[in-house]
Amino acid sequence: MTDAKKLGYEIEQISIGAAHTDISMTETYIKRREVPISEVTLPLPKRA
């Protein structure tokens, strides 16, 4: 569901596809799976 949301599907479409009877259930699942990702890139140290 989270991937479908990221791809631009509407919450109503996702809810129907997941066979949820209430959109709030779909929203809860999506919120639980969305984890902030940092855009910071750090170089790894070279092996000795």
Task: In whole angstroms, give the CA distance from residue 40 to residue 43.
Answer: 10
pTM: 0.60
Q: What is the mean pLDDT of residues 33-48?
A: 80
| Token couple for 26 | 């779909």
How confident is the model at residue 10, as a pLDDT? 92
Amino acid, res. 38? S
Higher pLDDT, 31 or 20: 20
The residue assigned the tokens 């509407």 is 10
**pLDDT score at 46:** 86
Q: What was the pLDDT predicted at 41?
A: 87
CB 23 within 8 A of CB 10: no
**Domain definitions of the chain by residue range:** 2-33
In this predicted model, what pLDDT tens digit does every residue of 1-30 receive, in sequence order? 778 888 899 999 999 999 999 999 998 888
